[in-house]
Amino acid sequence: MKRLLLLAAAATLAGCGTGQFRIPDPGFASTELESRMGPAADKRVHSDGETWYYYPRQPHGLAMFVARVDSGGKVIAIEQRLTDENVARLEKGKTKADDVRDLLGPPWKVWPFPRMQRDIWEYRMTINAGGWVPQGLYVQMSPDNVVREIYILSDPDNRLSECCAR
């Protein structure tokens, strides 16, 4: 019986660690990114010469990391993008889909709603409400690629906060 309980506990802890990794300090060469952080889900080149590599840890990691690389190929910062501050920067009727992708990274899921003529981008994140609480961020896009609605809803499976809070 003890062995069964130990196996169940190990499986639970292993599940909570899914998508977790140690964030390296900036300063290393971009050629080492994949060996240190795994393959990037997306890569975007910016007009200032920086290239941003996106590393989602969704749905259970509740994070989106961006490794910013300068034009010389050196990693200058690694940032968590799914924050309350970044979500507050989204403006209904003004923010474009490309701006959302730059700011937050690629969505975990895209839900098409053809009758509404909308796509809803889903991100998994946490908010600090007296402790890290799992949330779903839903950004509604119209056919002209403009943000129309932004929703943050409580995660119905809030058990994640017991083992996987950031």
pLDDT in tens, 121-133: 999 998 776 667 8
CB of 147 closer than 8 Å to CB of 100: yes
Task: Name beta bridge partners: 43.
Answer: 53
| 15 occurs within a structural domain | no
Provide the residue range defining the domain that includes 132: 20-163
| 78 occurs within a structural domain | yes
**How far apart are the two ends of the chain, measured CA to CA in Å?**
32
Radius of gyration of the chain (CA): 18
| 93 occurs within a structural domain | yes
Hey, how many other C-beta atoms are within 10 angstroms of the C-beta on 80? 15
| 113 occurs within a structural domain | yes
Q: Which residues of the chain have pLDDT under 70?
A: 1-22, 129-131, 156-166
Domain count, the chain: 1
User: Looking at residue 122, which CATH number applies to its domain?
Assistant: 3.30.1450.10
| 5 occurs within a structural domain | no
Task: Name beta bridge partners: 112.
Answer: 119
| 73 occurs within a structural domain | yes
- pTM score above 0.85: no
What is the predicted pLDDT for the residue at 58? 82
| 9 occurs within a structural domain | no
pLDDT in tens, 67-77: 999 999 899 99
